Amino acid sequence: MKKHWLPFLLAFVLPLILTYWWWGGFNKASFEIAQRGPYHYAYMTQKGDYSKLPDKQQEVLGRLRQQGVAVGTPITLLLNDARTTPKRDWVAQTGYLVDAHARVSEPLAIGDVPARLALVVKVKAQLLLAPGKAYSALMDYLDEHHMQFRQPTVELYQNGVLTVEMNL
């Protein structure tokens, strides 16, 4: 009977564990309180399911390139708490950091996040895993420190690291 487990482990379980490790699934979140911003960004609004944000962000990238606007780091502002707001009412702004003097045309818009003190959570993981790990760690941190969750949160993803910022 033991002989049958070894091929199963090697063929199915080990590759899953290695993939999860490769994607950063075992990485821990780090926290700091820091001055963040200001950010100037071009974006489009996504209403409904947050899982559609990557597609919307790619649309923004294409439109910025068509308009000849240089792009920086990807940025997303989540405006609703997914735990308490019905999915159909979720709203986010997703796009890219742009130069302070950049101008865009519709359907793109320009937004600003002022400099502020923020709780910063960082997770090095593949983009499919990073948000779940970051927000789970953030909620645990807030519970431990008797703090309230505040929206909007600002997400920046660069060099395989997701940074989530929550205003203090």
Q: For residue 121, what is the enclosing H or E element?
A: strand 116-124
Question: Considering its fold, how many domains does the chain have in total?
Answer: 1
Q: Output the pLDDT for position 27.
A: 79
Kindly provide the b/e burial profile for residues 70-84, where b requires at least 16 CB atoms within 10 angstroms of the residue's own CB.
ebbebbbbbbbeeee
Residue 9: per-residue pLDDT = 67
Q: Tell me if 73 is assigned to some domain.
A: yes
Does 7 map to a domain? no
What pLDDT sits at residue 23? 64
Domain containing residue 34: CATH number = 3.20.80.10
The domain of 80 spans 30-167
Structure-token pair, residue 154 = 């600002």
Classify burial at 165, counting beta carbons within 10 Å of its beta carbon; exposed 0-12, middle 13-18, buried 19 or more.
buried
List, for residues 14-25, the tens digit of each pLDDT value.
667 766 666 666
1 is a domain residue: no
Residue 69 counted as domain residue: yes
Task: Please indicate, yes or no, if residue 150 is contained in any of the structural domains.
Answer: yes
Which stretches of the chain score pLDDT less than 70? 1-3, 6, 9-10, 14-15, 18-25
Q: What's the pLDDT score for residue 15?
A: 66
| Residue 143 maps to a domain | yes
State residue 135's pLDDT score. 96
Q: How far is CA 53 from CA 7, 141, 145, 153, in A?
A: 39, 25, 30, 14
Q: How far apart are CA 138 and CA 163, in angstroms?
A: 11
Asked if residue 85 belongs to a domain, the reply is yes
DSSP conformation class of 85: S
**Structure confidence at residue 22 (pLDDT):** 66
- Does some domain include residue 9? no
